[in-house]
Amino acid sequence: MEIDRILELLPHRYPFLMVDGVSEVEPGKFIKGHKNVSFNEPFFQGHFPGNPIMPGVMILEAMAQLGIIFAKETDPSLREKLVVFAGIDGVRFRRPVLPGDRLDLELELIKQKRNIWKMGGKALVGGNVAVEAVLMAAIQ
Assess contact for 126 and 37: CB atoms under 8 A.
no
Q: Which of 12, 47, 95, 118 is catalytic?
A: 47
Cα separation, 64 vs 136, in Å, equals: 8
- Which has the closest alpha carbon to 137: 17, 14, 10? 10
Q: Is the dihedral of CA 63, 20, 34, 54 positive or negative?
A: negative
Helix ranges restricted to H, the chain:
3-9, 56-74
Using DSSP's 3-state secondary structure scheme, residue 73 falls into: helix
Q: Give the burial class of 56: count Cβ atoms within 10 A of its Cβ; 0-12 exposed, 13-18 middle, 19 or more buried.
A: middle
Can 47 be counted among the known catalytic residues? yes
Q: What are the residue numbers of the active site? A: 47
